[in-house]
Structure 1
């Protein structure tokens, strides 16, 4: 459901924010773009980056992710496991189901849930301006 991250768009977001485009930042961006629809955290990105360039530091990864988030290129999710995970900021609305055993993040859309949320807000005299739904679960044994 998330749209794939485009490395050129991420580089442009950094440029627009006045950041220098360094070799480590290019590598971090490439890793983000290669992750597709996964929701990597900073350590996932760092581990992949140091395999390709041992000089990359974890603070560089964090600073780059923070800049990309501040410029609206990526969105940070702080799920219950304590890890901040990242995905494209401009994808279509979707919700998340987090597998408590594996940490997998499953994206889904449900018109029923959207209608129910609108109905509840209306009954309480509100209009929803933003929402985020995260479900946490374990696979059922069949």
Structure 2
């Protein structure tokens, strides 16, 4: 039908943006692709800018920040403040995980611990609550050998 998008010729990422009510643009698709290609990595807006520029992309700092804010509002991405002067982003995912932050390097490490989930449930239950969600951040340093 005239005026309606041709849903047979759109990519998976275009379909995702449409389903979340986010306008499809080349900069949005580029940022989404970078986040997907490095699904175990966490990026600051500045790191995404450098990656885009090194790959020939022409997206400004302000546009990247605006797109990341849109992605977070649409629950495509999640923003974390692990330190006062640095925000990082990762794709929203179905798999439940927490984070460890290396206090010397700032590296963010994803981990999943069923034991911690069970402990959190027990702690909540002991206080007559039920665990609804959790977010645990461990600040770590390399153990001496």
* TM-score grouping bracket, smaller chain normalisation: 0.7 to 0.9
1:73-105 CA distance string (max 9 Å, x none): 112221125322222212311111111111111
Query: More deviation in 44-53 or 123-132?
Result: 44-53
State how 1:36-55 maps to structure 2 within 5 Å: 36-53=39-56, 55=58
The Cα RMSD (Å) is 2.0
Matched, 1:88 2:91: yes
Alignment match, 2:59: 56
What's the counterpart of residue 34 of structure 2? Answer: 31
* Uncovered stretches (5+) of structure 2, i.e. residues with no partner: 1-10
1:1-142 superposed matches below 5 A: 8-53=11-56, 55-80=58-83, 82-142=85-145
**So what's the TM-score if we normalise by structure 2?**
0.80
SS of structure 1 residue aligned to 2:96? coil
More deviation, 115-124/75-84: 75-84
- How far apart are the structure 1 equivalents of 2:111 and 2:20? 32
Aligned residues: 135
What is the TM-score when the length of structure 1 is the normalising length? 0.82
* Larger RCO, structures 1/2 (Cα 8 Å, 6+ apart): 1
Larger radius of gyration: 2
| Residues 68, 10 of structure 1: alpha-carbon distance in 2 compared, 3 angstrom cutoff | farther
Instruction: Judge which range, 31-40 or 12-21, deviates more.
Output: 12-21
